[in-house]
Amino acid sequence: MSIVLARIDDRLIHGQVMTSWLNYTGANRIIIVDDETANDTFLKMIVTSVAPANIKTEVFGIDEGAETIKQLTATDKVIILAKSPAVYVALMKQGILLEKVNIGGMGAKEGRTKFYKNISASTEEKNCLKQLTDNGAAVTIQIIAEDKAIDVAKLLT
Active-site residue set? 14
Cα separation, 9 vs 119, in Å, equals: 10
C-beta of residue 81 within 8 angstroms of C-beta of residue 27 = no
C-beta of residue 115 within 8 angstroms of C-beta of residue 155 = yes
Could you say which DSSP state residue 19 is in?
I
C-beta of residue 118 within 8 angstroms of C-beta of residue 104 = no
